[in-house]
Structure 1
Amino acid sequence: MPRLLRAMGLLGLLLVAHAAAAEKLRLVADAWPPFTDINLANGGLATDIVSTALRRAGYTTEFEQVPWARAILGVDEGRYDVLVNAWFTHERTMIGEFSNEYLLNRVRFLKRKDNPITFNNLKDLHPYPIAIVRGYAYSNAFDSDAQLQKVPVHSFSMAVRMLAAGRVALTAEDEYVARYNLNLETQGVRDSVEFLPRSLSENPLHILVSLKNPDHAQIVASFDREIAAMKADGSYDKLFRQHGL
């Protein structure tokens, strides 16, 4: 009997360990500070929000940072369970299930404080040179407007320095990305620029759970439930403060 009990106990432990391993989710994203970056606390704001919500739902997680194309391919092939930072497209519904929005990306223009530019529609901006990052998608209307004076640059840091120096009249970036990067600039640059009130575009951010994971629907439902609970109990806003946003 003692041997039988020990064997049953060992079997129980193995089953528990197997269940725990089955609940471990492989998270993936590219480097996009302050949202996702292995060099930031808890992998960045978005990674922290996502892993916290999933932990509250009973999952354990591990996070890997890879280039965007590899992340998408990995979700498609089932090597990763959860893409942390996905904007909705119909094409992506073929490889994963989207959660509800858990964060909103607002792309906003920045100008020099001493420049009285106003923005109600894109025609208002036709007279002004605008620094844009090569390869970046801002909005369909902005990207397709051939009358805008777009000045391609390598990075937001270069764009905002050109703006501060008066070499361009405007630049644009996601608000949180801009605030994060402005904190890395000199006081002179930070003090010379400001956001225009109106957003150029707003894009809801979701997780995308691989359809190769048989529990994808349950993972999404659990995540959505916990995000709602985090917003209700204040822990969602607390994460923003912890990341300085």
Structure 2
Amino acid sequence: MPLRLLLLLLCLVSAAPRADDVLRVAADRWPPYADIRLPDGGVAVHLVRAALQRAGYASEYVEVPWPRVLHGVRGGEYDLVVDAWYSPEREAFGVFSESYLSNRVRLLKRRGSPITFAHLADLYPYRIAVVRGYSYSPEFDSDPKLRRVPVLSFANAALMLQAGRVDLTLEDEITARHQFAGELAAVRGELEFLPVPLAEKGLHILVSLRNPKHAQIVAAFNEAIRAMRADGSYDALMREHGL
């Protein structure tokens, strides 16, 4: 083989990304933040992958149930979670980025129900549908007197609430409104938000400690998000998704 051709082939091989260089990015279906049926996989998936690309990382996205997302990041099957709320126990297996989006978590009840909420103790008498593996707020998650009913998704929770099998559920407000405009349109008029939010929460990526470059990935992601906010590309991406 001519030396010139050999050198060209070597350059192409060294330039081509290896499979190990592609970050495995995971999330549960959580429209409008993460959903393979939405443009670019939803606003959080689009934003995270754009920031990673800006930071020099290729990525591939997989959508699996939330318990499997956490199990996969804990074990190193996935490199990072797209859309994690902070909880101290998750720091045992991952590193959180700075917050790149904000969520407002609100309780929902059946329309006309007399339930009110100002303090967690107000919720003690009621059955509350919660998505398995979700962290809603440190106080809510750790209170032993709350009657939590684990479910697989917010859609399951909303249908159980409408049917009277639970008394309350809770979700990010934007997510709930998105689903009430779509797959949960049939129960939209039967459920309502309680006025007082349970929590205001930042959304983060959570990078697996199993990835030896976890600290580097988090730092590069944070820097990319800051740069996107500064140059207007962050706001432009949010407008693409109607936010």
TM-score norm. by structure 1 comes to 0.75
What SS does the aligned partner of 1:83 have? strand
Q: Which residue of 1 aligns with 2:198?
A: 200
Distance in 1 between residues matched to 2:50 and 2:40, nearest whole Å: 10
**Contact 1:131/1:159 (<8 A) preserved:** no
Distance in 2 between residues matched to 1:79 and 1:213, nearest whole Å: 10
What SS does the aligned partner of 2:211 have? coil
Q: Which has the larger radius of gyration?
A: 1
- 1:75 deviation in Å? 2.0
Q: Which residue of 2 aligns with 1:59?
A: 57
1:113–1:51 CA distance, 2 compared to 1 (3 A): same
1:162–1:231 CA distance, 2 compared to 1 (3 A): farther
Residue pairs, 1:177-192, within 5 angstroms: 177-184=175-182, 185-186=184-185, 189=188
1:132–1:40 CA distance, 2 compared to 1 (3 A): farther
Q: Which residue of 2 aligns with 1:15?
A: 14
RMSD: 3.6
What SS does the aligned partner of 1:39 have? coil
Distance in 1 between residues matched to 2:38 and 2:23, nearest whole Å: 20
2:30 maps to amino acid: W
Whether 1:132 aligns to 2:132 is no
Q: Which residue of 2 aligns with 1:34?
A: 32
**Contact 1:130/1:171 (<8 A) preserved:** no
Distance in 1 between residues matched to 2:176 and 2:232, nearest whole Å: 25
1:64–1:104 CA distance, 2 compared to 1 (3 A): same
How many residues end up aligned between the 2 structures? 236
Residue pairs, 1:1-245, within 5 angstroms: 3-18=2-17, 21-110=19-108, 120-122=118-120, 132-135=128-131, 138-139=136-137, 141-142=139-140, 144=143, 146=145, 155-158=156-159, 161=162, 172-184=170-182, 185-186=184-185, 189=188, 195=193, 198-245=196-243
Distance in 1 between residues matched to 2:110 and 2:66, nearest whole Å: 33
Runs of 4+ aligned structure 1 residues displaced above 6 Å come to: 111-118, 148-154
1:177-234, CA deviations, whole angstroms, 9 ceiling, x for partnerless residues? Answer: 11111212549946x8765554211232211112222222221111101111222233
- 1:120 deviation in Å? 4.4
- 1:76 deviation in Å? 2.6
Distance in 2 between residues matched to 1:152 and 1:69, nearest whole Å: 12
**Contact 2:29/2:65 (<8 A) preserved:** yes
Aligned sequence identity (%): 48
Any gaps of 5 or more consecutive residues in structure 2?
Answer: none
Distance in 2 between residues matched to 1:13 and 1:152, nearest whole Å: 51
1:57-101, CA deviations, whole angstroms, 9 ceiling, x for partnerless residues? Answer: 122111111222322232233222121122223332232222111
Any gaps of 5 or more consecutive residues in structure 1?
Answer: none
What SS does the aligned partner of 1:84 have? strand
1:91 maps to amino acid: E
1:91–1:120 CA distance, 2 compared to 1 (3 A): closer
Distance in 2 between residues matched to 1:221 and 1:204, nearest whole Å: 17
What SS does the aligned partner of 1:28 have? strand
**Contact 2:103/2:200 (<8 A) preserved:** yes
- 1:27 deviation in Å? 0.7
